[in-house]
Amino acid sequence: EPPAPEAIVDAFEAVLGPITTYRPSHPKGICASGHFVATPDGARHSVAPVFDGQRVEAIIRFGVAGASPRASDVARSTRSLAIRFETSQGDQWDMANISAPIFGARTPEMLVAGLLARRPGPNGQPDAEAVRRFVESNPESTRQGRWLAAVTPPASWATTPYWGVDAFRFKGAEGQERLVRWVFEPVAGTQRLSEEEMRARGTDFLAEEIRRRVAQGPVEFDMVLQFAQPGDDATDPTVAWPDDRPRATVGRLTVTAVEAGAGGPCDGISFMNLDMEPGVAFSDDPTLHARAAPYAVSLSRRTR
Ligand code: HEM
């Protein structure tokens, strides 16, 4: 039995304190808007309305991982791209993507155990021994951190790929069904901070940078599917599939406006990774199945 949605959110609160106002994950961020248009390949690979090639409105949130709305923009953590698609027929599809191809927990149980191991004690610090024991018995939980340690952070929210991480099943126009993972590839190219820039840029430059950039012209991402080959594990989000898997570009996301300040329509949205039947279905990844319900619980706690 996976942990109940409330128990999952309680575990975040055990580490962060009660959730008020801010989301417990990627609390720092800004809201933006734009649109998405599928390619003909997108329509071929999925019968979901988002991929019909019509213009789909998008509410977009760029975020920074961590526990605090004052998290540092130069931290070697993930940045995020969350999207709510709204088709002209009234269909809605939410997703949250991160700037790493892998997640820090293989299952919801592991996520909760990792959080609880990091609960602060009476001195305000986690029990180092509890953390050590957790890491020792859950080595998969260290993979994302090692991936992030090997690269410097993105120079801009516009210059990193964002991976959906969890696998989905795309159901196409000819009835075919394929296991995929997706990545939003920056049309501007991938650009990371140099070690020197990491020292010089300060901890709070991403929001102004993206506002300036979008004021000069749209920021774009190509949504690219990666197709599983026999033997690829679609249930373990701590392991990436090899880079040479076949790919297809299924659409382009265009960011055309960024909120001038904090807040905006994103505050009332929990970007749950949802399916979009009949064209996009869940895989058997246990973290995927465990996401929507606690996201809703979290939203209700931070907006009560
Ligand atoms: C067991 C699995 C997971 C659980 C229980 C979980 C839980 C949560 C919760 C409670 C929130 C806050 C929601 C809100 O208040 O609106 C959140 C946000 C988020 N999660 Fe997860 N998560 C899981 C897996 C993942 C994975 C695999 C990814 C990687 C793509 C991910 C990326 C994000 C991002 C980017 C946000 C912030 C989105 C935004 O800007 O609003 N999560 N998560």
> If you average pLDDT over residues 32-55, what whole number do you get?
98
Distance 246 CA to ligand 1 centre (A): 27
- HSE-CB at 175 with a 13 A cutoff on CA atoms is 0
Write the residue with the smallest CA distance to atom 32 of ligand 1: 96
Residue in 291, 299, 300, 303 to alter for ligand 1 test, most ligand atoms within 8 A of Cβ: 291
291 lines ligand 1 (CB under 6 A): yes
pLDDT recorded at residue 295: 97
Output the CATH code of domain 5-302. 2.40.180.10
pLDDT band for 89, please (50, 70, 90 cuts).
Answer: very high
pLDDT recorded at residue 1: 83
Q: What phi and psi values does residue 18 have, to the nearest 5 degrees?
A: -55, 140
Residues 246-267: pLDDT tens digits? 999 999 999 999 999 988 999 9
Residue 166's nearest CA partner among 232, 102, 260 is 102
Question: Is 26 a residue of the active site?
Answer: yes
Distance of CA 136 to the CA centre of its chain: 26
Question: Is 133 strand, coil or helix?
Answer: helix
Write the residue with the smallest CA distance to atom 6 of ligand 1: 291
Question: Does the pLDDT value for residue 48 go beyond 90?
Answer: yes
Residues 123-157: pLDDT tens digits? 999 999 999 999 999 999 999 999 999 999 999 99
Q: Which residues contact 137 (CB under 8 A, 6 or more apart)?
A: none
Residue 48 near residue 93 (C-beta atoms within 8 A): yes
Distance 23 CA to ligand 1 centre (A): 9
Residues 171-202: pLDDT tens digits? 998 999 999 999 999 999 999 999 999 999 99
Distance 202 CA to ligand 1 centre (A): 26
What number is the ipTM of this complex? 0.98
Q: Where are the domains of the chain?
A: 5-302
Residue 184's nearest CA partner among 258, 87, 249 is 249
Question: Does the pLDDT value for residue 33 go beyond 90?
Answer: yes
Report how far residue 199's alpha carbon sits from residue 52's, in angstroms, rounded to the nearest whole number: 45
Amino acid identity, position 48 = A
Q: Which of 26, 35, 45, 289 is catalytic?
A: 26
